[in-house]
Amino acid sequence: MEYNIEGIRKYYDDFRIYPYDKLIEQGFVESDALFMSEIGIPHNFLGFTFFALEEFKSCIFSDEKYIQIGIFRPHDYTDNKIYVRFGSGKVVKESENGIALLNRDLKTFFLFHLIFFQEAKKYNLKNVEDCNTYGTEVRKKFEKIDPEAMENSEGYWSTKVEEYEEMW
């Protein structure tokens, strides 16, 4: 099944469209700048809050330069900052162990969410077997699209998928 990334717009109303030239000036890779200027990013998204352009901040971790583009508030209500790495476009978040990879770029980050939503519609997630099948199918798709995002067993996507693979 092909996924049209523009489909993510039907799940959220408040999208930010950023000026391409300003994104390039700030150090975003071309693919992220195109995505952010053409598709956009939702302001609030499943515990994630993405900033306006003037709120972006440059930071350095382990001699690597990043742009803070937002925050993530998981269920424990702590703030984890969301960054895009200069030169690569990798989307990362703060974790107890430093920086943790979310996805290879912003488009893939939102594509994973779209797949997660659309695949869920195919299954009765109240049924244990369907939950397990859903988790397995989503993992296969994710590993094919962005294997690095799925490598860390404690990573954001691995743990999210695992919740369904090992339901009850």
The answer to whether 109 and 100 are in contact (CB under 8 A) is no
How many other CB atoms are found less than 10 A from the CB of residue 137? 17
- Tell me if residue 162 falls in helix, strand or coil: helix
pTM over 0.85: yes
- Residue 107 host element (H or E): helix 106-120
- Tell me if residue 100 falls in helix, strand or coil: strand
- Domain residue ranges of the chain, discontinuous segments joined by +: 5-105, 109-165
- Measured distance CA(62)–CA(14) in Å, rounded: 34
Instruction: Answer with the residue of higher pLDDT: 3 or 107.
Output: 107
pLDDT at 167: 66
Tokens 């350095």 identify what position?
A: 60
> What pLDDT band is residue 79 in, cutting at 50, 70 and 90?
low
Is pLDDT at 85 greater than 90 in this prediction? yes
In DSSP terms, 81 is beta-bridged to 71
DSSP letter (8 states) at residue 51: P
| pLDDT tens-digit map of 122-166 | 888 888 888 888 889 999 999 999 999 999 877 888 888 888 887
The answer to whether 79 and 93 are in contact (CB under 8 A) is no
Among residues 74, 165, 75, which one has the least CA distance to residue 125?
165
Mean pLDDT of 118-123: 86
Q: What are phi and psi of 106, to 5 degrees?
A: -65, -40
